[in-house]
Structure 1
Amino acid sequence: MSAAPRINGARLWDSLMEMAQIGGTPKGGVSRLALTEEDRIGRDLFARWATEAGCTVRVDAMGNMFARRVGRDDSLAPVITGSHGDSQPAGGKFDGIYGVLAGLEVIRTLNDHDIQTDRSIEVVNWTNEEGSRFAPAMIASGVYTGVFDLAYGLSRTDAKGITLGEALQTIGYAGNEPMGDREIHAAFELHIEQGPILEAQGLTIGVVTGAQGQRWYEIELTGRSAHAGTTPMDHRLDALLGLARVVEAVNAMGVAQGDEGRATVGWVNVFPNSRNVVPGRVVFSVEFRHPNEAVLEVLDWQLRQEVQGIADTIGLQLKLEQIFQYAPIAFDADCIDRVERAASELGYSHRRMISGAGHDACYLSKVAPTSMIFVPCVNGLSHNEAEHIHPHWSEAGGNVLLHAMLAKAGV
């Protein structure tokens, strides 16, 4: 075995570009929503490529695809990698699928160098990670790891009332493999950063140590609708004024947490939403993200105090409900170390970092030693048709993945 085998970066890039034609958009992105015809075509292509690389491909009850390259001792728990093939409605051509095809490239490279691993290696294509057709996001990896039960996963519906289970049947990917039935020795997910940090710092590899926890809230402020022309300012119960003050307060809470703080008001409904009526009611979202659960607890307390104070000052009624809580994820120390060592030995600039987004690896970490690898994306842009990475970044990530997996799979 070569001391430091490298992936075929050009072959990986060509695979990414060919896959990007499936659901390709005029602006250079992709629209390949989960379990659509475009997703089926992409799945078929991945299955064909994996089979040509000597893998067996199995599909479980949530449509998750597992391409397996058998090791010397197939009874040992495998080392797995992968990500997702579905996209946002007008998404980029690297989000998710880069991790799937880089895993396939690892297998192709092992074949090129005639390297046999002690443990089997699997590449996974997880179903519906994005959550853009079926909510919630990461539903199939969540079912696989026991976060959700199978009946719940299959019963999720899209905007037309089609269930996830029905969509799986339609495209022919309702598998019969049991869910989460086998031990996993280690898992790695390679992904674009979806943020600006690596590119801004001139770094090639992000060694991901964990993922931020999240708290989602839905808030309703109720005042009184009134005529915009005849109601004096001191007689108004303006719900939108309350929202404006909450937005400013939420932003300040996020800024106060420094580099790791995230605080967002991203969704708003205003009633009656008429240009000549003082708004009588607003319903909106607040989201906090941070890698420390104790900080999220403090932000929760601050939010409740701030919003209540704003409502009382204006004279508004308040309804505040936390609708989602996701604890911070800490990835496996040894898997993190394998990624970091691989980046160092291959000569790539790198840093440790926290993921601001959720990924299938976050759920997978509940049942297996897991870590992630990030590569930069241009201007930190993702979930956008203009999303882009450079071929040398793609190759670097694939090389780090290869060597991290070899370290855990044994040669």
Structure 2
Amino acid sequence: MSMPTANSDRLWSTLMEMGAIGGTAGGGCRRLALSEEEGRARILFKHWAEEAGCVVTVDRIGNIFARRGGTDRDAAPVAIGSHLDTVPTGGKFDGAYGVLAGLEVMRRLQDLGVTTQRPIELIAWTNEEGARFSPMTMGSSVFTGDIALDFALSRQDPSGVSVGEALQAIGAAGDVPVGGRRFSAYLETHIEQGPLLKEGGEQIGVVTGSFKARYFVATIKGQAAHVGPTLMEQRHDAMVGAAALILEINRIGRSRGRDGRSNAPYIEVEPNVRGVIPQEVRLSCDVRHPDADEALAMEAELRDACAKVATDYGLSVALDQYFEFGPINCHDDMCALIRETTTSLGFTQRDILTVASHDAVPMMDFCPTGLFFIPSETGISHSETEYSTPAQCSDGASVLLNAVIKLAG
């Protein structure tokens, strides 16, 4: 008997319809977590899931669970999922692809009249990106107990709106307790957020582990003064110190070749007005490397750079860690399942590390978890130019479908 495959046209149409919610002039998508746009995306997803025969529930952090029953009601379900939120200048595929590939699994099982032994639960996790509310992977981390619910609900966006308020505003706050569910396994598919699969020509990337990543806020303090009368040698300009530190952060990552990553993507300035020398800058930054020891060495260089900037520019610089992940090692049995399924479908593959966190990362300690990538045709994500082809999207959904069938019996 041949292995079932995804309905490519239906999956693509679904991706494009979802991508139109929050669609941008540049062909991308702006659908921030718990925004009005993501609220509409949630409603559409729940409608589609119910049409596919699922029972939909929502927990108190807004995670959506679409359950397809099995013959053994007491068996722990097989879970699949990802997220619907995007970054401000995102694309149509990051996150949403994993959710909608999971929806295609549910639809194909319904098409084929397949009944599984285990139930299957498709999950749309809340606030994976962390673009509006920090920290990232919030919904999955609250679910696993890594983050307290009350703490998550109290987090605020730059406008002072809390997660709890935003959930209420779009009607996304469920009444189901967070957690308390058992899963036999969790599977997530995602677009690769870099160029490696595209460069190598492989159709599937089997994620075996992750980089080590450490995230910081550098607080650079100087002295406010009038930009006109203040002599250059008298200045303690926090922005100049931040500029010097940004260049050092860039150098640290580049010095490690293709394995190194360093970033300084977010900056806050006070008082941030014309005519006044900046007195304080808060710079979010991170370092990443597949070798945990090398990542720590990069952190040490970052701390040395902070000390040098402080001395050179007459400033104070404090570096505080606020998040980290990795290195993780994915479950061997789940990696083997993805490889075997990929091979059986006749697709090419390679093992790959994830450089970014995904909802699968907090799930690794909760149940046997597998993560795999499809290529990014443009070799990029978190960009309006993010793109994977209909065939690439269908290939990943077909792997997901057949892996789920094996897991669910």
Structure 2 length normalisation: TM-score? 0.89
In structure 2, give the amino acid aligned to 1:352: D
Secondary structure of 1:329's counterpart equals coil
- The separation in 2 between residues aligned to 1:110 and 1:274, in whole angstroms, is 58
Give the conservation status (yes or no) of the 8 Å contact 1:226–1:236: no
**RMSD over equivalenced CA pairs, Å:** 2.8
Q: Which aligned pairs between 1:181-200 and structure 2 lie closer than 5 A?
A: 181-200=180-199
Q: Which residue of 1 aligns with 2:284?
A: 285
Q: Which is worse superposed, 324-333 or 90-99?
A: 324-333
Give the conservation status (yes or no) of the 8 Å contact 2:378–2:388: no
Q: Does residue 1:338 correspond to 2:337, yes or no?
A: yes
Q: Which is worse superposed, 138-147 or 204-213?
A: 204-213
Deviations 1:101-155 (A, max 9, x none): 1101111112222222221111111112222332222211111110111112222
Q: Which is worse superposed, 343-352 or 20-29?
A: 20-29
In structure 1, give the amino acid aligned to 2:400: L
Give the conservation status (yes or no) of the 8 Å contact 2:67–2:122: yes
CA apart distance, 1:189: 0.9
Structure 1 length normalisation: TM-score? 0.89
CA apart distance, 1:231: 5.0
Q: Which aligned pairs between 1:253-264 and structure 2 lie closer than 5 A?
A: 253-264=252-263
Label 1:112 to 1:258 Cα distance change in 2 as closer, same or farther (>3 A): same
In structure 2, give the amino acid aligned to 1:340: R
Q: Which residue of 2 aligns with 1:90?
A: 89
- The separation in 2 between residues aligned to 1:16 and 1:374, in whole angstroms, is 17
Secondary structure of 1:58's counterpart equals strand
Label 1:168 to 1:249 Cα distance change in 2 as closer, same or farther (>3 A): closer
CA apart distance, 1:185: 0.8
Any gaps of 5 or more consecutive residues in structure 1? none
Deviations 1:141-171 (A, max 9, x none): 1111101111122222334433322332333
Deviations 1:281-324 (A, max 9, x none): 65433310123332222222222234324544565543333333
- The separation in 2 between residues aligned to 1:11 and 1:390, in whole angstroms, is 14
Q: Which residue of 1 aligns with 2:147?
A: 148
Give the conservation status (yes or no) of the 8 Å contact 1:226–1:279: no
CA apart distance, 1:386: 2.6
Q: Which residue of 1 aligns with 2:293?
A: 294
- The separation in 2 between residues aligned to 1:110 and 1:376, in whole angstroms, is 25
- The separation in 2 between residues aligned to 1:240 and 1:139, in whole angstroms, is 31
- The separation in 1 between residues aligned to 2:161 and 2:236, in whole angstroms, is 42
CA apart distance, 1:42: 1.9
Secondary structure of 1:11's counterpart equals helix
CA apart distance, 1:239: 5.8
Q: Which residue of 1 aligns with 2:123?
A: 124
Q: Which residue of 2 aligns with 1:211?
A: 210
In structure 1, give the amino acid aligned to 2:289: H
CA apart distance, 1:259: 2.7
User: Aligned residue pairs: how many?
Assistant: 408
Deviations 1:263-283 (A, max 9, x none): 122334567879999877654
CA apart distance, 1:99: 0.7
Label 1:221 to 1:85 Cα distance change in 2 as closer, same or farther (>3 A): closer
Label 1:330 to 1:231 Cα distance change in 2 as closer, same or farther (>3 A): same
- The separation in 1 between residues aligned to 2:313 and 2:41, in whole angstroms, is 54
Deviations 1:67-100 (A, max 9, x none): 1111221211111111111222332111111111
Q: Which aligned pairs between 1:41-60 and structure 2 lie closer than 5 A?
A: 41-60=40-59
In structure 2, give the amino acid aligned to 1:56: V
Deviations 1:308-359 (A, max 9, x none): 2454456554333333333422221111111122122212222111112121
Q: Which aligned pairs between 1:372-387 and structure 2 lie closer than 5 A?
A: 372-387=371-386
Label 1:226 to 1:394 Cα distance change in 2 as closer, same or farther (>3 A): same
In structure 2, give the amino acid aligned to 1:13: W
Secondary structure of 2:165's counterpart equals helix
In structure 2, give the amino acid aligned to 1:324: F
Q: Which is worse superposed, 114-123 or 284-293?
A: 284-293
Q: Does residue 1:79 correspond to 2:78, yes or no?
A: yes
CA apart distance, 1:402: 1.3
- The separation in 1 between residues aligned to 2:40 and 2:226, in whole angstroms, is 54
Give the conservation status (yes or no) of the 8 Å contact 2:325–2:357: no
Give the conservation status (yes or no) of the 8 Å contact 1:223–1:239: yes
- The separation in 2 between residues aligned to 1:251 and 1:333, in whole angstroms, is 35
Give the conservation status (yes or no) of the 8 Å contact 2:153–2:162: yes
Secondary structure of 2:347's counterpart equals coil
Label 1:45 to 1:232 Cα distance change in 2 as closer, same or farther (>3 A): closer
In structure 2, give the amino acid aligned to 1:44: I
Q: Does residue 1:406 correspond to 2:405, yes or no?
A: yes
Q: Which residue of 2 aligns with 1:70?
A: 69
Q: Which is worse superposed, 389-398 or 62-71?
A: 62-71
Any gaps of 5 or more consecutive residues in structure 2? none
CA apart distance, 1:366: 2.1
- The separation in 2 between residues aligned to 1:289 and 1:242, in whole angstroms, is 23
Aligned-pair identity in percent equals: 43
Q: Which residue of 2 aligns with 1:307?
A: 306
